[in-house]
Structure formats: C-alpha cells, structure tokens
Structure 1
Amino acid sequence: MAYLFLFGAIVAEVIGAISTRFSEGFTRVLPTVVAVVGVVGAYFLLSRALRAGMGIGVAYAIWAALGVCAVALVGVLFLGESLTGVQAAGVALVIGGVACLELGGQH
C-alpha cells in the first residue's frame, strides 16, 4: 500500500510542477490552483506512504527522482523542450541512484 501512496504522490507532484509552468508566476488562477492542490496532495500522499511503513530516505528519493524524471519527460514529449545527452545521462544517474537506495535497503 505504501508504494501506491508513493505513486500517487509522484503523479500529484508532476501535475503540480507542470501546472506551475502554466501559471505565469501564479498570475493565472486555474493553473495556480491546480499547482497548489498538486503540491499539497503530493505531500499528503507522501505522508501516507511514510505512515504505511516506507522509510523516509527511500520514499523521498524515489518521490523526488521519479518526479524529476517524469517532469523532464513531459517537457520533452509535450512541451517542446529539449534534452541534451548530458541531461539524459543525468536522468539515468538519478534513476540508478534510486535503484541503489532501494536495492541497498533489501536484506
């Protein structure tokens, strides 16, 4: 159940981040409301994952890393942003780091 809450937190964070881009400095109402609800929802769901027994180090690493990777992917696929080779390598390193944290915590 903890991973389900964590997945929801990641989705909410991505929605909040993308909405922030469209809020034009929080001057547009709807994107601003969606951004705030997304970020607050992300923290709420993260807290539920922690309450369900997930360790904070692993939960935060997965949440942050997959959120960053998802936002970068959405930017490239839907918002016309580019991703250089160095940036793609950085994304791969982030994913690898999270995998190491997860695998290192298993006994």
Structure 2
Amino acid sequence: MTWVFLIGAILSETGGTLSLRMASKGGGRAWLLAVAAGFVAAFAFLTLALDGGMPLGVAYGIWAAAGVALTAITSRLLFHEPLTKVMALGIGLIIVGVLFIELGAAH
C-alpha cells in the first residue's frame, strides 16, 4: 500500500502545481482551492506512505523527482510550454536517479 500512497502523493502534488499555473493566469478562486486541496492531499498521502514504513529518503526523493518530471511533461501537453532536448535528458536522468534510489534502498 505504501507505493499506492506515494503515487497518490505524486499525482496530488502534480495536480496542485498545475492548478497553481491556472490560478496564476487569473483562473479565479476555484483554482486556488484546487491548489490547496492538491497540496493537502499530497502531504496526507506522503504521510501515509511514511506511516506504512517507506523510508523518508526514498519517499521524498521519488515524490520530488517524479513530481518534477510529470509536471514538466504535463505542462507541455496542457499549456504548450517548452520541453527541449536538454529538459528531456534531465527527465531521463531523474528516472535513472529514482531507479538508483529504489535499488539502493533495497539493500
């Protein structure tokens, strides 16, 4: 279940961040509520993952890295923001880093 909670944290945080983009463009009060709900849910899910026994370094590292990668990709699709080759390489390095974190935690 800890992985389900961590995935919930990643998706909630990404949703909150994307909502922040909408709120910053004059989207109104509803988007600000979505920002708050996304971040509250993200921390709640992260707390549940930690409570389930996932190490803090692993949980936070994966949460932050996956959130950055998912936000960059999604903002490209939704808002037509740039996603250059260098940025794509960075996302690839994030994925490799997350794999190393998980492999290192298994020992």
Segments of structure 1 that go 5 or more residues without pairing to the other structure are none
1:100 aligns with 2:100: yes
Matched, 1:22 2:22: yes
Where do 1:70-89 residues align within 5 Å? Answer: 70-89=70-89
Aligned residues: 107
Stretches of 4+ moved more than 6 A in 1? none
Task: Decide whether aligned partners of structure 1 residues 52 and 26 sit closer, same or farther in structure 2, where only a CA change above 3 A counts.
Answer: farther
Provide structure 2 residue ranges, at least 5 long, that are not aligned to the other structure. Answer: none
Q: Deviations over 1:49-82 (max 9, x none)?
A: 0000000000001111111111111111121112
Aligned partner letter, 1:105: A
More off after superposition, 53-62 vs 26-35: 26-35
Identity over aligned pairs, percent = 41
- With over 3 angstroms needed to count, the CA separation of the structure-2 counterparts of 1:72 and 1:54, relative to structure 1, is same
* TM-score (structure 2 length as normaliser): 0.94
TM-score (norm 1): 0.94
